[in-house]
Structure 1
Amino acid sequence: MNPPVSGRSLAVPASPIRGLIPLAERALKAGKKVHFLNIGQPDVPTPKEYFEAVRSFSEPVLAYGGSHGNPALVGALLRVYREELGVSLLPEHVLVTAGGSEALWFTVMVLCDPEDELIVPEPFYANYAAVCAGAGVRIVPVTTRTEDGYHLPPSDPAAAVESKITPRTKGILLSHPGNPTGTVFTREEVKLLADVAVRSGLFLIADEVYRDFVYDGRPFTSFCSLEEAKEHVVVIDSVSKRYSACGARIGFIVSRNRSVMEQAMKFAQSRGCTPTLEQVGAAALYNVPASFLEGVRSEYQARRDTLCRAMETIPGVTLRKPEGAFYLSARIPVEDTQAFAVWMMEEFDLDGETVLFAPLEGFYATPGLGRDEIRLCTALEKETLARAAEILRAGLEAYRYRKGGSA
């Protein structure tokens, strides 16, 4: 008899972002062109400073680094927080991790015991479900709506959160700007959530990896900037989106809570160190001129506008223009977007082209929600996005009327 795997691993859900990629690979082998709007992979070139720094590395041995992280990289992040967010940090307030995902794993493991709970506005970044399931932590959702732009419930946002608190609640987990929604919390919402955390003795885990991409002149307030909540806030950060360097896998835990950082260091020591060369390259990225980010932000805003305009013309589609990040969540006129996504890969093409998107059901904890919603990445070239919307329109029409049936 074969030995069984753990119940914990069986509880971890498959990724709704990457789970359909094998079908897309088969579609590619069959000769189709697939537009990958399922994953947040920018096509903006990574700044040359990253590659130049790696090529200039001259140490004779590629040795282990410190578990805390490369001092030059930590110092660069401290400068960014001071100059861009007005937050003064010390080196011990930062831990370099292997991407934002490892930062999230470490944080949840440090803050929560099995059967503890985290309150999470939904829809949320799908990997939160995997991390929490792996840690034995229960997600308690606060449902937000397309019609409200996925902001906190407007009638009584504090009560919407506080009503979810139980003796097992350890904190609030959210992304800001939102993935998959692009929602940017107002300063009032940020303050409200921080006040709830302080008043209730909770942690607040703020995933702020998209903070550089906020559009239409909208202000951004980092949870890290709230002095009154500094012992409660843990920020997840990354170079992946800021510098179009997703493959570098460099992220950060940022917190002024000494105990949190001391315990997180134990997990960092257990994995040794973050890759040395990637840290060298990442440190150089923080010397890239501000004009790079300004140009990328402007381009991403234009790309968002392109996809929104195209999607708004498709009958039956409901959306709100994202305020930040580079994703668009939309309700589309099908009952099961997972089945529709599979059909788009296996049975449909428009002149040899099809579109892969992320079904949104896996971004919710409440059963049944998100079945008619999808997430599209807006970080691709405008021509690609316009074509993808054209293909999606044709796919929806064909799916609705396939074999004389309805969606």
Structure 2
Amino acid sequence: MPHISEKGRQMPSSPVRKLVPYAEAAKDRGINIYQLNIGQPDIKTPTHALEAVKNTTMDVLEYSHSAGNQSYREKLIMHYNKIDMDLSIDDIIVSTGGSEALMFAMGSICDYGDEVIIPEPFYANYNGFATASGVTVKPITTTIENNFALPPVSEFEKLITDKTKAILICNPGNPTGYLYTQEEMDQLTALVIKHDLFLVADEVYREFAYDGREHFSVMNQAGLEQHAIMIDSVSKRYSMCGARIGCVVSKNKEVIAAAMKFAQARLSPPTFAQIAAEAALDTPQEYFDEVIEEYIARRDLLISSLKSIEGVKVANPGGAFYCVAELPVENSDDFAQWLLESFEYEGETIMVAPAAGFYSSPGMGNNQIRIAYVLEKESLKRAVVILEKALKAYNA
């Protein structure tokens, strides 16, 4: 019998999606599930983006340019330049979601065995992208005790070797919601210039910065033009996760030329989704103002409710729409599965993402979960009640 590859064996399961079979079985038993495990907003997609697809007339559904439709790229550049990024159309390649953009970036700057430094906990699929690309993740651990703040840059410098190619950050962060300060961005900028590295910034949650704080983009860092790579996506910004449209952006011409080869190999990003994404760029600021106000209200409700549960510790996110909570359990993977297989409260349960999958260091995050506050406030309130009941039953 033929065997699968070692890479296939090493490929990690998604901590967000691996519990789906248990959730499906629970639903078949008639259990209502509050899904806190996945960053799928319930915010409505801008109507004009959906209408643009409905009103499209074409005789042939053709490939687009491998870098994306020119009209979309031009409009996207105008969008970025409104926030002083000073980009041209040659600095961008449209991808099939931010995931493909990250794969293009890793493939363009790393060889097999090269290393990328990433503050953990981080977006779980970074582990998968690294495995698929033959890249070694060098984690630098942040802690819930100080709200997952960035460690001193000296800690990053200790991890740099002749194999190090980049530092990868998510800003604001998934799963922590941590929002980087200008000082932290300046320190990282100085570090990558000193060691001639790339700074890759996943900025798909850029608009979701709370409490009057500002988002500082890697593309606005002076002197970083040849080192900066930005990853972006329409998924969260416009509540268009199913569109699968993202992009990789860099002023480094060699990076873009290499990424273009990967883009040509997969032919082109999806045509209809690009039409929707282009239309979405006309979304007025009022849309984001309302969305941010709603997410802040959800965050505040969720954090205060979680803090009221005995034994639960939670960090306060400054952006995105996730938080990491530490629970009075030894194994959150077991607890998350038990919630779906063996627990219900008045015919309902919750689905959470065990946090160990958001770390690269073995043994980290075993008693933590990630919660996505993408449900309306009454559902979040109910979900926390169920969590409290579940913890009491689980630890009884």
Greater mean alpha carbon deviation, residues 69-78 or residues 300-309: 69-78
User: Which residues in structure 2 correspond to 1:366-381 (within 5 Å)?
Assistant: 366-381=361-376
2:8 — aligned with what?
A: 9
Matched, 1:65 2:58: no
Q: What does the per-residue CA deviation read over 1:32-81, in whole Å, with 9 as the maximum and x for residues that have no partner?
A: 00111000000011011111111121121111110010112112221221
Code of the aligned partner of 1:33: N
Give aligned pairs, total.
396
Given that 1:11 and 1:134 are in contact with CA atoms closer than 8 Å, whether structure 2 keeps it comes out as no
* Deviation of 1:163 (Å): 0.5
User: How far apart, in 1, do the equivalents of 2:375 and 2:193 lie?
Assistant: 40
User: Deviation per CA, 1:270-297, whole angstroms, max 9, x where unpaired?
Assistant: 0110111110111000011111111111
* Structure 1 position 379, deviation (Å): 1.7
SS of aligned partner of 1:115: coil
* Matched residue, 2:25: 26
Give the alignment of 1:130-209 within 5 angstroms: 130-153=128-151, 157-209=152-204
**2-side partners of 1:55 and 1:28: how far apart?**
33
Q: Which residue pairs with 2:278 in the alignment? A: 283
Contact 1:319 1:331 (8 Å CA) reproduced: yes
Q: How does 1:75-86 map to 2 (within 5 A)?
A: 75-83=74-82, 85-86=83-84
Q: Distance in 2 between matches of 1:224 and 1:94?
A: 12
- Aligned equivalent of 2:38: 39
Q: Counterpart in 2 of 1:335?
A: 330
Give the letter for the 1:17 counterpart: V
Deviations 1:92-140 (A, max 9, x none): 1010000000001111111111111000000000000001011111110
- 2:52 alignment partner in structure 1: 53
- Within 1, Cα distance between the matches of 2:273 and 2:388? 41
Q: Per the alignment, in what secondary structure is the counterpart of residue 243 of structure 1?
A: coil
- CA distance in 2 between partners of 1:321 and 1:79 (Å): 34
For residues 317-396 of structure 1, what are the structure 2 equivalents within 5 Å? 317-396=312-391
In the aligned structure 2, how far is the partner of 1:344 from the partner of 1:70? Answer: 45
Question: Residue 253 of structure 1 aligns with which residue?
Answer: 248
| 8 Å CA contact retained: 1:103, 1:252 | yes
In 2, distance between residues paired with 1:121 and 1:51? Answer: 36
Q: Distance in 2 between matches of 1:70 and 1:298?
A: 33
* Residue 198 of structure 1, CA deviation: 0.8
CA distance in 2, matches of 1:88, 1:163: 34
Matched to 2:361, the amino acid is T
**In 1, Cα distance between the equivalents of 2:78 and 2:293?**
24
What is the rounded CA distance, in whole Å, between the counterparts of 2:388 and 2:70 in structure 1? 50
- Shift in Å, 1:377: 0.3
After superposing the two structures, state which structure 1 stretch, 51-60 or 363-372, moved more.
51-60
The percent identity for this pair of structures is 45
Aligned-partner Cα distance in 1 for 2:355–2:146 = 17
For normalisation by structure 1, the TM-score amounts to: 0.96
2:389 is paired with a residue whose SS is: helix
What is the DSSP-based 3-state SS (H/G/I as helix, E as strand, rest coil) of the residue aligned with 1:227?
coil
**Alignment partners' CA distance in 2, 1:22 and 1:191:** 44
Whole-Å separation in 2 of the counterparts to 1:390 and 1:220: 33
Give the partner amino acid of 1:114: Y
Matches of 1:112 and 1:12, distance apart in 2: 18
Residue of 209, 218, 223 corresponding to 1:214: 209
What corresponds to 1:120 in structure 2? 118
- Cα distance per residue 1:191-223 (max 9 Å; x no partner): 111111111010111000001101010111101
Deviation, structure 1 residue 7 = 1.1
Counterpart in 2 of 1:228?
A: 223
Matched ranges for 1:304-323 at <5 A: 304-323=299-318
Q: Report the aligned-residue RMSD.
A: 0.7
1:217-253 Cα shifts (integer Å, max 9, x gaps): 0111101101311110100000000000000000000
1:404 aligned residue: none
Amino acid at match of 2:4: V
The gaps in structure 1 that reach 5 residues or longer are: 402-407
Question: Residues of 2 paired with 1:133 and 1:271: CA distance?
Answer: 19
Give the CA deviation at 1:6: 1.2
Q: What is the CA–CA distance in structure 1 between the aligned matches of 2:163 and 2:217, rounded to whole Å? A: 27
In structure 1, C-alpha distance between the alignment counterparts of 2:146 and 2:226, rounded to whole Å: 31
1-side partners of 2:103 and 2:258: how far apart?
A: 13
